[in-house]
Amino acid sequence: MEKLKIKNISKAINGLKIVDRVTASFLPGRITGLIGPNGAGKTTLFHIITGELRSDTGEINYRGEDITLLPPYRVARKGIGRLFQDVRVFENLTVSENVVSACYDHRVETPWFPFLRKKRWKALERDFKEKSDYYIDYVGLMEVKDVPASSLSYGQQKLLAIARLLAGGFSLLLLDEPTAGLNPVMIKKILNILKRIVAEDQGKTIVLVEHDMSVVTEVADWVYFMNEGRIAFFGRTDHVLGDKEVREIYLGL
Ligand SMILES: Nc1ncnc2c1ncn2[C@@H]1O[C@H](COP(=O)(O)OP(=O)(O)OP(=O)(O)O)[C@@H](O)[C@H]1O
Ligand SMILES: [Mg+2]
């Protein structure tokens, strides 16, 4: 099955091993959890997958292609997108403009793109608008479509960031604490969207970094437990969360 495979990835920063020989794989059609205490290296691992940081050792393979040494923009073109821990949207653009600007289409990659006739250019604009409306509706932001992103609540901004990821056509979504700091209603909303994404498109893979164990339990069947840069445990979520060591290190039980 086409998937994300990480093999023996390590990263030291200032002599400190932040990520230590991590091997993991993430299957499509599934939400896989990545949990572990603060400073475990989860966000750093995301940086390495997206090419923002280069690992010292190992390989990363996505859908059969070696992406280990690719720069971030090329990793993105392979279909890997991320939701940042601190949500990032264009605050001075409207919701709609935010999503339109995230739309991706193979047509913009053709060599004759700069020579597109006005008519075809217009058609592209129309398609992007349609597509963006679809995803704005998908995340439930239709009512605020024309307001600047700065006037959205924090939770709505997260929804917008998810809409941008979907419009970008990414097949692998790396989500760094998408529900942190949100109220239970908004959390529920986001989780339903995530579940729908993988249910509707078995080609989509979601990796979810999360501290809230009720969230992990609800959406992820499988989870990696990371501690001090290493994958200390992998298994079915209930199994991992029930483990004595995990409970001691992480949950303080
Ligand atoms: N650029 C950097 N320079 C020095 N140390 C760094 C750098 N980036 C991360 N670290 C350190 O690496 C460790 C892992 O950080 P990381 O942000 O990956 O953890 P995390 O698992 O995402 O934690 P959290 O759950 O708190 O978000 C931490 O001890 C952090 O201080
Ligand atoms: Mg983090």
DSSP run (H or E) holding 112: none
The secondary structure of the chain in percent helix, strand, coil, rounded to multiples of 5, reads 40, 25, 35
Q: Quick one: which ligand is closest to 45's CA?
A: 1
Q: Is 13 in the pocket of ligand 1 (CB under 6 A)?
A: yes
pLDDT at res. 218: 95
Q: Is 229 in the pocket of ligand 1 (CB under 6 A)?
A: no
Q: From ligand 2's centre to the CA of 234, what distance in Å? A: 19
Q: Quick one: which ligand is closest to 212's CA?
A: 1
Report pTM: 0.92
Ligand 1 pocket mutation, candidates 11, 14, 18, 20, criterion most atoms within 8 A of CB: 18
Distance between alpha carbon 132 and the CA centroid of its chain, in Å? Answer: 19
Q: What is the CATH architecture of 1-79+171-253?
A: 3-Layer(aba) Sandwich (3.40)
From first to last of its 253 residues, the chain has per-residue pLDDT tens of 579 999 999 999 999 999 999 999 999 999 999 999 999 999 999 999 999 999 999 999 999 999 999 999 999 999 999 998 777 899 999 999 999 999 977 666 666 766 777 787 788 889 999 999 999 999 999 999 999 999 999 999 999 999 999 999 999 999 999 999 999 999 999 999 999 999 999 999 999 999 999 999 999 999 999 999 999 999 999 999 988 888 888 876 6
Q: From ligand 1's centre to the CA of 240, what distance in Å? A: 23
What count of Cα atoms within 13 Å lies in the side-chain half-sphere of residue 58?
A: 22
Q: Is 22 in the pocket of ligand 1 (CB under 6 A)?
A: no
Nearest to 6 by CA among 67, 57, 59: 59
Q: Backbone phi, then psi, for 222, in 5-degree steps? A: -125, 145
Say how many Å lie between the first and final Cα of the chain, rounded: 37
Which ligand 1 atom is the nearest neighbour of the CA of 177?
27
Burial-class residue 115 by CB neighbours within 10 Å (0-12, 13-18, 19+): exposed
Q: Is 43 in the pocket of ligand 1 (CB under 6 A)?
A: yes
Q: Is 18 in the pocket of ligand 1 (CB under 6 A)?
A: yes
Rounded to whole angstroms, the Cα distance separating 73 from 180 reads: 27
CA dihedral 35, 86, 29, 196 (to 10 degrees): 120
Q: Which residue has a Cα nearest atom 12 of ligand 1?
A: 18
pLDDT at res. 249: 81
CA angle in degrees (0–180, nearest 5) for 12-165-71: 40
User: Cβ(39)–Cβ(52) under 8 Å?
Assistant: no
Q: From ligand 1's centre to the CA of 40, what distance in Å? A: 7
Rounded to whole angstroms, the Cα distance separating 73 from 250 reads: 35
Q: From ligand 2's centre to the CA of 21, what distance in Å? A: 18
CA angle in degrees (0–180, nearest 5) for 239-60-171: 75
Domain ranges of the chain: 1-79+171-253, 90-169
Those residues with Cβ within 8 angstroms of residue 214's Cβ, 6 or more apart along the chain or in another chain: none
Q: From ligand 2's centre to the CA of 145, what distance in Å? A: 30
